[in-house]
Amino acid sequence: MEEKIITAENAQPEKRKKILSCIQPSGIPTLGNYLGALKNWKLLSDEFDSAFAVADLHAITVRQDPQKLRKQIMEVFALLLAIGLDPEKNIVFIQSQVPAHAQLAWILNCYTQFGEMARMTQFKDKSQSHADNINVGLFSYPVLMAADILLYQADLVPVGADQKQHLEIARDIANRFNGIYGKTFTIPDPYIGKQGARVMSLQDPTKKMSKSDPNPKSYVSVFDTPETIMKKIRSAVTDSEGGVYYGDGKDGVNNLMGIYSCCTNLSYEQIEREFAGKGYGDFKNAVGEAVVEELRPVRERYEMYMKDQAYLKEVAAKGAATASRVADRTLSKVMKKCGFVLP
């Protein structure tokens, strides 16, 4: 290949990095999802060219009730706006409204090995928890996720630890395709947020906070009322020792300190100083109030958007149109390289 010489004339200004992430519409997210992921999305959206989607095609890999699914898709879409993503500046959309995702996923299926999918830990876990419905979609789920990412030529993908293996596979698929057909896809890197906020269950602080926990006292949902939030934080499990400081065997207190730190931007040392000589009662009240204030604007905006379903649908349709323009460019490139005849 001819070497390209960069001169003042052809030098391109440093391109803004592209970022993409998606969230499944499987129930109302928790404080853990918010502090660990969504809050960072908002910050990232100011810094990068970004696309965020409701991954509803992924949701049907486990059986869904259609009415409930429809409701949850719009709730999570409203939440994306409520956390402050600006649909004028970012691409905010619903995955199933952009056909290129399913199309590219099919093509990439044919460039993915059975063995690669079979060793995915999430597939192994889910085939145990959904033993009556181990469908092929559940199996090739990571390929659809690869399509989501690669269609937008994303440089960075914010994901939690449980999705890192899927991102690895997306990179492998992209590299393989590029190896066969020449550079087609950007190879995405995982993006690990600044605050590795990992929020634990309020009732068993050795477990991750989860919205599927049968005990609702174990998690704060992003739309819990202030009263509920205060009650749940006040009944969080701590220890019998009584001091507010970060330490071994103090999982409950450590977790509350993490939450408080995320909401207030105070360091652990500052928190320890603030509560020196005080008991857990005072500490929990302060944590509860900080969480209430953190989530208040999100809940208020969410309630406002949910009252206007026509507006939400219009924003989603515009987002899907913009997403399609970007995604179709990649899809056409891929189809040409594979040997399909474009209309």
Q: Show which residues are catalytic.
A: 126, 208, 211
- Collapse the DSSP code of 180 into the 3-class scheme (helix H, G, I; strand E, B; otherwise coil) and give the result: helix
| Burial class of residue 258, CB neighbours in 10 A (0-12, 13-18, 19+) | buried
Q: Which stretch in 69-77, 78-86, 157-165, 260-268 sits in contact with ligand TRP by CB under 6 A?
A: 157-165
Q: Report which residue type is found at 124.
A: K
- Closest approach, Cβ 142 to ligand TRP, in A, equals 8
> How crowded is the C-beta side of 334, counted as CA atoms within 13 Å?
27
Footprint on residues 1-20 left by ligand TRP (CB under 6 A)? 20
Comparison of 55 and 271: residue with beta carbon closer to ligand TRP: 55
- Collapse the DSSP code of 239 into the 3-class scheme (helix H, G, I; strand E, B; otherwise coil) and give the result: coil
Using CB under 6 A as the binding rule, whether residue 148 contacts ligand TRP is answered as yes
The set of residues, in sequence order, having a beta carbon less than 8 Å from that of 84 and lying 6+ positions away, is: 42, 45, 301
H/E run at residue 50: strand 49-54
Residue 73 CA to chain centroid, in angstroms? 14
**Exactly one of 92, 149, 200, 229 binds ligand TRP (CB under 6 A); which one?**
149
Comparison of 52 and 260: residue with beta carbon closer to ligand TRP: 52
Comparison of 210 and 264: residue with beta carbon closer to ligand TRP: 210
- Collapse the DSSP code of 158 into the 3-class scheme (helix H, G, I; strand E, B; otherwise coil) and give the result: strand
**Exactly one of 81, 159, 169, 244 binds ligand TRP (CB under 6 A); which one?**
159
Comparison of 38 and 230: residue with beta carbon closer to ligand TRP: 38
Q: Are 96 and 53 in contact (CB under 8 A)?
A: no
Using CB under 6 A as the binding rule, whether residue 143 contacts ligand TRP is answered as no
φ/ψ of 51, rounded to 5, equals -130, 130
Residues in binding contact with ligand TRP, number by CB under 6 A: 12
Comparison of 22 and 253: residue with beta carbon closer to ligand TRP: 22
Using CB under 6 A as the binding rule, whether residue 55 contacts ligand TRP is answered as yes
Rounded CA-CA distance 24/99 in Å is 17
**Exactly one of 35, 145, 253, 287 binds ligand TRP (CB under 6 A); which one?**
145
Footprint on residues 20-49 left by ligand TRP (CB under 6 A)? 20-22, 24
Of 278, 283, 231, 296, the residue nearest 257 (C-alpha) = 283
- Closest approach, Cβ 130 to ligand TRP, in A, equals 14
Q: Give me the residues that bind ligand TRP (CB under 6 A), please.
A: 20-22, 24, 55, 58, 145, 148-149, 157, 159, 163
